[in-house]
Amino acid sequence: MGSLDNQQLLVVGGTSGIGLATAIGAQAEGAVVWAAGRSKDRVQACSASYPDIHFSQLDIHDAEGLQSLFKRIGTMNHIVAAATGSHRTMAPFMEQSDEQFRAAFNKFWGYTNLARQGIPHLSEQGSLTFVSGTPARKCNPGMSSISCTGCAVEGFTRALASELAPKRVNVVAPGIIDTGMYDHFGDQKSAMLDQMGTSFLLGRVGAAEEVATAILFLMSNPYVTGTTIDVDGGALLP
């Protein structure tokens, strides 16, 4: 297994949830970690809490901002795309407007933008890791736009892996994970997530750190590329 010690790592979407957990985990393994996010408040809060990680305010769709950041960092060993980068509508396909359906794909376009700007700065043995989700292969009613976006991300991963070798490209597909994505439930968040977890084989939803562990594995293992790793508590099984 490879080591992350002294390796340069950028996590876009790295100020909350899975991205932040990945940044923290990589820094603990000795990586020099750069993390970017859209929210100025989150960047400031994370900078205060984790002073050994280099946080920046940046949107994954901002090509010029990414170019500037990559020039500042120099050669990268690993790039992680954990940003949502979009507004996703949960509704049946025929109840969504064309604009609502298309909006979910802003995540995919953000990932392609990060890849286009970042790959020239990625070391020859470096890796690029995306985050998809279980709806790409097991779609419940009302999740068509999310499912199609996830399918695009996973297809893009395989295509890039073929084109960029020996640079490596992989994707992690989480199930239901306890992150800020569910904060809109307010005081009912814990109860709602507990209820969701009962339908999975492991009887609970996942933690951001559990997904981060899979991302760290993909960065550390030099013989894995074009692969999707599921971290979903068995959600894909019948």
- Residue 78 has φ and ψ, to the nearest 5°, of -145, 140
Q: Which domain holds residue 159?
A: 8-231
Q: What is the pLDDT of residue 115?
A: 98
Q: What is the pLDDT of residue 156?
A: 98
Whether residue 104 is predicted with pLDDT greater than 90 in this model: the reply is: yes
Q: How far apart are CA 132 and CA 232, in angstroms?
A: 11
Residue 42 lies in a domain: yes
Residue 2 lies in a domain: no
Residue 146 lies in a domain: yes
CATH of the domain at 136: 3.40.50.720
How far, in Å, are 11, 13, 86, 225 from residue 31 at the CA level? Answer: 12, 17, 29, 21
Residue 237 lies in a domain: no
Kindly report, residue by residue over 205-217, the tens digit of the pLDDT: 999 999 999 999 9
Q: What is the pLDDT of residue 185?
A: 81
Whether residue 1 is predicted with pLDDT greater than 60 in this model: the reply is: no
pLDDT band at 85 (very low <50, low <70, confident <90, very high): low
pLDDT band at 222 (very low <50, low <70, confident <90, very high): very high
Question: How many other CB atoms are there within 10 angstroms of residue 237's CB atom?
Answer: 9
Average the pLDDT over 156-169 and give the result. 98
Query: Does 113 or 190 have the greater pLDDT score?
Result: 113
CA neighbours closer than 13 Å in the CB half-sphere of residue 221:
15
Whether residue 162 is predicted with pLDDT greater than 80 in this model: the reply is: yes
Average the pLDDT over 107-133 and give the result. 97
Q: Give the mean pLDDT of the chain.
A: 94
Whether residue 2 is predicted with pLDDT greater than 80 in this model: the reply is: no
Q: What is the pLDDT of residue 187?
A: 85
Determine what percent of the chain is predicted with pLDDT higher than 90.
Answer: 85
Residue 238 lies in a domain: no
Residue 112 lies in a domain: yes
Whether residue 121 is predicted with pLDDT greater than 70 in this model: the reply is: yes
* pTM greater than 0.85 (yes/no): yes
Residue 99 lies in a domain: yes
Q: What is the pLDDT of residue 76?
A: 97
Q: What is the pLDDT of residue 88?
A: 80
Contacts of 56 (CB under 8 A, 6+ apart): 34, 35, 36, 43, 69
pLDDT band at 95 (very low <50, low <70, confident <90, very high): very high
Burial letters 178-202, b for 16+ CB under 10 A, else e: bbeebeeeeeeeeeebeebbeebee
Q: What is the pLDDT of residue 235?
A: 92
Number of compact structural domains in the chain:
1
62 DSSP assignment: -
Whether residue 72 is predicted with pLDDT greater than 90 in this model: the reply is: yes
Average the pLDDT over 152-168 and give the result. 98
Residue 236 lies in a domain: no
37, containing H or E segment = strand 32-37
Whether residue 219 is predicted with pLDDT greater than 60 in this model: the reply is: yes
Least confident of 61-65, 114-118, 165-169, 196-200: 196-200
**What SS3 state is found at 69?**
helix
